[in-house]
Structure 1
Amino acid sequence: MPFVQMENIAMFLGGCERLGCPKHDLFQTIDLYENKNPGQVVDAIWSLSRHAAKAGCDIPILGPKLSDKHEVEFSEEVLNAGKTVINTYQYGYSGGANLSGQRSGRREIGGVDPGRTQSP
């Protein structure tokens, strides 16, 4: 009798895979048979629900809906325009800041050092 139950679980998992459920969403047979990882079993049921609904079965979707593939096509003009434009913000361009105007010696970042004596 236990062999038949494990075989049924394996058949269920095979059906899930054929429907499109990714392997990482499924559980191991022993997880259900010996109640070792019930969370993964629930995740597999949710995955089965989403993939079955996407395949056209009239069942309620558990969890988030699967996304649809969205392909974008650009014209040759748009692709060529993207090759010539340089996004300077991506490279850290800061509008021409440089070190001109900096005094030589110590740079005062946090104000005047209270321990330093000022010359008159």
Structure 2
Amino acid sequence: MNFLRLTSGEVVRPSSCQFLFRFKTCLLVAGKRDKDQEREAQHWIETLLGEKFTAGFAYEDCLRDGILLCRLMNRLSPGIVPKINTSGGDYKMMDNISQFQKACIKYGVADVDLFQTTDLWDKKNVALVTTTIFAVGRACYRHPEFRGPYLGPRPSEENRREFTEEQLRAGEGLIGLQAGSNKGATQAGLNFGATRKILLGK
């Protein structure tokens, strides 16, 4: 009997229900991911850190232990992650991810832009991990000490305007002129409810 190896490294029989469920799940997850964005995020991280991702490993596998993510945050804001665990088992590696998330919030990334630890550790939502990296890239625009390269578009900024009561009252009379007419709105020309005559033979 032939066996298949999934992207997670797990080996399953093609005829099993487990395979069908995992295959459908892999298709759904793979459908959400944007490989171009992942390559762009990877290139940005590699450029800032001055080193390439480990050859032969997938994007999510290189990020999974949180070491590169913590080093990225320390590159953007030195000392923002006080201790990066390079050994010590799964718990320590998951702690790196948690430290990265805390550093993101300190750096100015919104809480809603952060992925959950299990999204990366269990590879449940790698697309959200990439979204978080782009959010970090956008946050760099708000730090004048950062010289680039930047990732993603510049975030919009609030442009609050204050109007006096006099200015607000003056604006009340402009609606008709802005609509192309200086006459008030009327219902002239509307025929709702009017009878309609159809004359045949003319």
TM-score above 0.5 = yes
Identity of counterpart residues, as a percentage?
30
In structure 2, the CA distance between the partners of 1:19 and 1:94, relative to structure 1 (3 Å rule), is farther
| Aligned residue number for residue 149 of structure 2 | 60
User: Hey, what's the Cα distance between the residues in 2 that align with 1:94 and 1:38?
Assistant: 57
| TM-fit CA distance, 1:98 | 4.5
Match of 1:71, as an amino acid?
R
Matched residue SS, 2:148: coil
User: Gaps spanning 5+ residues in structure 1: where?
Assistant: none
| Aligned residue number for residue 97 of structure 1 | 189
Taking only aligned residues, the RMSD between alpha carbons, in angstroms, comes to 2.7
What is the count of residue pairs matched by the alignment?
104
- What does residue range 1-120 of structure 1 map to in structure 2 within 5 Å? 1-56=89-144, 57-82=146-171, 84-85=172-173, 87=175, 93=185, 96-99=188-191, 104=195, 107-108=196-197, 112=198
User: Hey, what's the Cα distance between the residues in 2 that align with 1:94 and 1:41?
Assistant: 56
CA contact (8 A) 1:49 1:59 kept: no
- After TM superposition, the runs of 4+ consecutive aligned structure 1 residues lying more than 6 A away are none
User: Hey, what's the Cα distance between the residues in 2 that align with 1:60 and 1:23?
Assistant: 23
Match of 1:78, as an amino acid?
Q
Structure of greater Rg = 1
- The structure with the greater share of residues assigned to helix is 2
Matched residue SS, 1:71: coil
Match of 1:96, as an amino acid?
A
User: Hey, what's the Cα distance between the residues in 1 that align with 2:136 and 2:130?
Assistant: 10
CA contact (8 A) 1:50 1:63 kept: yes
CA contact (8 A) 1:25 1:43 kept: yes
Deviations along 1:32-75, whole A, 9 cap, x unmatched? 11211111000000000111231222232222211122122334
- Using the size of structure 1 for normalisation, the TM-score is 0.69
User: Hey, what's the Cα distance between the residues in 2 that align with 1:58 and 1:34?
Assistant: 34
- Using the size of structure 2 for normalisation, the TM-score is 0.44
Match of 1:68, as an amino acid?
E
| Aligned residue number for residue 12 of structure 2 | none
